[in-house]
Amino acid sequence: MLLLAGLCLLSVVVLAMLIEAGATRSLDVAIIDAVRSPGLVTPLSPLTQVTNLGSTVWITGVSLAVLAMEVVARRPWLGVAAAATIGLASLGNGLVKELVHRVRPDLLPPIEIERGYSFPSGHSALSMVAYGIIAVLILRSRLPSWVRWLVVAILALVIGLVGISRVYLGVHYPSDVLGGWLAGGMVVLLFVGATRAQSAGQFSREASRSPGGGGAVADRGAPRSDPPAPE
């Protein structure tokens, strides 16, 4: 996980350097022209609402909901870790914006007005972190396999649509969105690595307490209560 997280970080750094050199502009312009083409304006109009799923207010609510659910599931440490990770990711994203100083797109009139710098996209990064962490928790759960993968697919769709919405609204370049996804993916991978051992230990303890979940092995050395067989 650390290797993959490192690759994500390296990719963000390289992408920022390419942006500074102007190497991404032609591709950014081509994607923006495609997303904002006249034929897609109406079909993509729901993205003006979908984008709220990556807003700071919404993601804050999601992190609190994750914290509450993990407390109910008797894993408060995991809920705290998830909420803290999302919060730190938000702070880190703001710091990177200040370091890169990329201005917002001016290629088309924006549908919404956003302040601050552009790279990386905060909506894209935070949606990747928040929904990515939820996906990790779902995959570690005891839900049926098809339910787990269905939820993960829906979460992946939401992450993708939030990123596209930022380009559609004219408030981010596509490379901003890619940078947000990479940065968010790095944070999720670090979360996976940091919580894997504790999660495995938690599930082992739950299994040992469940009926038939290891109690038979623990009782092999216990005194037998049945009478001995006749010789």
**Residues annotated as catalytic (active site), given as ranges:** 123, 172
Q: Which two tokens stand for residue 164?
A: 């596209």
- Return the amino acid letter for 201: G
For the chain, the residue count is 231
DSSP 223: P
CA distance 181 to 167: 13
CA distances, 87 to each of 80, 120, 226 (Å): 10, 16, 58
Cα gap 130→137, rounded to integer Å:
11
State the DSSP H helix or E strand holding residue 33, giving kind and residue range, or none if neither. helix 25-35
Tokens of 20: 């500074």
CB neighbour class for 50 (10 Å; exposed up to 12, middle 13-18, buried from 19): middle
